[in-house]
Amino acid sequence: MPLVRFVEPNGAERTLEIVTGTSVMQTAIRHSVRGIEAGCGGCLDCATCHVYVDDSQLHAMPPASAQEDAVLAAVAAERRPTSRLGCQLFVPVGIETLIIHIPETQL
Amino acid sequence: MNGLVVVGASYAGVQAALSAREAGYAEPIRLIVDETSLPYQRPPLSKGFLLGEASEQSLVLRDETFFRDKGIELLLGTSAVRVDRQERRVALADGARLDFDRLLLATGSRARRLSVPGAEREGIHYLRSLRDAQTLKAELDAAASIIIIGGGFIGLEVASTASKLGKNVTVIEAASRLLERTVSPVVSQFLLALHHQNGVDIRLSETVARLDKDGDRWTVTTGSGAALHGDIVLAGIGGLPNIELATEAGLACDNGILVDAHGATSDPLVFAAGDCTSHHNSFAGQQTRLESVQHAQDQGKAAGSAVAGKTSPYTSVPRFWSDQYAAKLQMVGLSHGRDHHVIRGEPDQSGFSVFMYRQNRLIAVDSVNRPGEQLIARKLIGAGVSPSPAQAADLSFDLKALPLPRAAEGARP
């Protein structure tokens, strides 16, 4: 199974297996990864599963949809070119370990 | 110390247990799960799961390791049958008894059953639990047609899913428009057209007179005398709160267990959250029972915090959502009593919102494919800030530019 490495703002890391068909957000919630709120459960309703994809992997990710882009406009932490919503992110084929940076705040 | 016992492990129960821990509750927490599976997500049951896109494993809400890490003990496959408040003890179906210092009821709601002749027949589907969804999925895969009674969220989501699967779908709705109690007429109209485009036969202002079954084939006779034939009958006609445990324990109930903003019931040692509760909602201006994931989570958070002695009142703006075909439907606020509305955008699939007002105050916004606008609407309603109807209807007006009081940050989820 592919892996996701979550990197907290203080540098602490956790690497978790991602169940096929589940999103980065869902993986974080199942394992209680700090810093990802996901108030809406993954339906583009809340902007609280904001994450940064690692710079080195950005090119491998499919772009955000127009709807995801609209919700990203409302994230609490700084929005960067690598900003994504965890609920819309899946590990692309060809990547063994997706590296995800958690923002300072979601609320 | 006997700690906290939580009855029910869907969104409200799980969130309450977690929030109690996060708020510093150090005593044992036991979570009674009346199903044999780990707590799971419910919204995909009528959509991705039925379609075969989401597996049972992908529905799991929190892993076993999560509960272990949080020191929350799961008691799977048993249910609470009686609460003795004097003894502070819960009796379980398997004969066990659990002593508690604090009790939290998150017993949820159940599907309202049909009451027409023939409704007692075996095999009529209702959709609430994973088991319901598994049974429905197995039959739906083999069926050619489905008759859905009720044009609410469950009925319309299943209609959308069944249509995607190539089934013949008929929906019978007693009201004159879809989702009458939940969305604005503009959105009802949009959804009706959307279902029609996808080949779904929707019968509005129609009731069910009786149900008959001949072999594997159902006949639904409608109030107007039509005989509809189908392989499957599903009823989605609303939910009833599971308040029997609370009523028998002498807790104050009225269409739900009565709770305050902290989830406390009429007994200060007993809390409740989620579908099974009724609370005074400031956005509704009245006593309200809500069935939604957002409500269950946010009220669960308030109740769990209160168990730990922390104050975090439940004041969230009510939100609902639904996915049908490619349409993302989102609703914020409570619209009863609306006296005026304006539409932002064109009411088509490219996306629009309906801003609803009561005496010039913005009280609710329904959106189709406009998640960004919903986020703004949520902040506006939470903060009590109303754009004028002219501003709301003007796509060139930037709603984000409206000043929000500082406290509005709290309106975020």
Condensed to tens digits (0 to 9), the pLDDT of residues A30-88 reads 888 888 987 776 778 788 899 999 999 999 999 999 889 988 988 889 999 999 999 99
Q: Residue B407 has what pLDDT?
A: 53
* For residues B146-152, average pLDDT: 97
User: In B88-131, which ranges are E strands?
Assistant: 89-92, 97-99, 102-105, 109-111
Cβ neighbours of B399 in A, within 8 Å: none
Q: pLDDT band for position B350 (50/70/90)?
A: confident
- In a mutagenesis test of the B interface, which of A34, A46, A75 is the best target, namely the one with the most B β-carbons within 10 Å? A46
Residues near B215 by Cβ (< 8 Å), separated by ≥ 6? Answer: none
Rounded CA-CA distance A57/A52 in Å is: 10
* For residues B290-306, average pLDDT: 96
CB atoms within 10 A of CB B23: 17
Whether B412 has a pLDDT exceeding 60, the answer reads no
Which residues 26-55 of chain A have a CB within 8 Å of chain B? 26, 29-32, 37, 39-41, 43-48
Tell me the pairing of strands B29-33 and B72-76: parallel
Rounded CA-CA distance B236/B220 in Å is: 15
Nearest CA-CA partner of A68 in B348, B352, B369, B347:
B369
Place of tokens 């008929």: B170
Rounded CA-CA distance B233/B149 in Å is: 7
Cβ neighbours of B65 in A, within 8 Å: 31
Phi and psi angles of residue B80, each rounded to the nearest 5 degrees, phi first? -85, 135
* For residues A13-31, average pLDDT: 90
Q: Residue B404 has what pLDDT?
A: 87
Q: Residue B409 has what pLDDT?
A: 46
Residues near B181 by Cβ (< 8 Å), separated by ≥ 6? Answer: none
The CA distances from residue B254 to B287, B290, B306, in Å, are 9, 13, 22
Nearest CA of chain A to the CA of B16: how many Å?
14
Whether B211 has a pLDDT exceeding 50, the answer reads yes
* For residues B134-157, average pLDDT: 97
For residue A75, the chain B residue with the least C-alpha distance is B375
Q: What is the mean pLDDT of chain B?
A: 95
Q: Residue B372 has what pLDDT?
A: 87
Cβ neighbours of A43 in B, within 8 Å: 43, 321, 323, 328
* For residues B322-346, average pLDDT: 94
For residue B409, the chain A residue with the least C-alpha distance is A107
Q: Residue B264 has what pLDDT?
A: 98
Cβ neighbours of A17 in B, within 8 Å: none
The sign one gets for the Cα dihedral A37, A42, A45, A51 is positive
Rounded CA-CA distance B230/B64 in Å is: 41
CB atoms within 10 A of CB A55: 12
Q: Residue B406 has what pLDDT?
A: 65
Phi and psi angles of residue B36, each rounded to the nearest 5 degrees, phi first? -90, -10
* For residues B142-153, average pLDDT: 97
Cα angle, residue B14 at apex, residues B378 and A47 outer, rounded to 5° = 30
Nearest CA of chain A to the CA of B200: how many Å?
25
Q: Residue B410 has what pLDDT?
A: 44
Whether B413 has a pLDDT exceeding 50, the answer reads no
For residue A23, the chain B residue with the least C-alpha distance is B58
Rounded CA-CA distance B413/B410 in Å is: 8
For residue A29, the chain B residue with the least C-alpha distance is B62
Residues of B with CB under 8 A from a CB of A: 41, 43, 53-55, 57-58, 60-63, 65-66, 69-70, 293-294, 297-298, 319, 321, 323, 328, 330, 369-376, 409, 412-413
Cα angle, residue B160 at apex, residues B154 and B162 outer, rounded to 5° = 95
Q: Which two tokens stand for residue B357?
A: 């007002």
In this structure, are residues B271 and B71 in contact, taking their beta carbons and an 8 Å threshold? no
Rounded CA-CA distance B315/B305 in Å is: 14
Alpha helices in B100-164 (DSSP H): 130-142, 153-164
- DSSP, collapsed to helix, strand or coil, labels residue A87 as helix
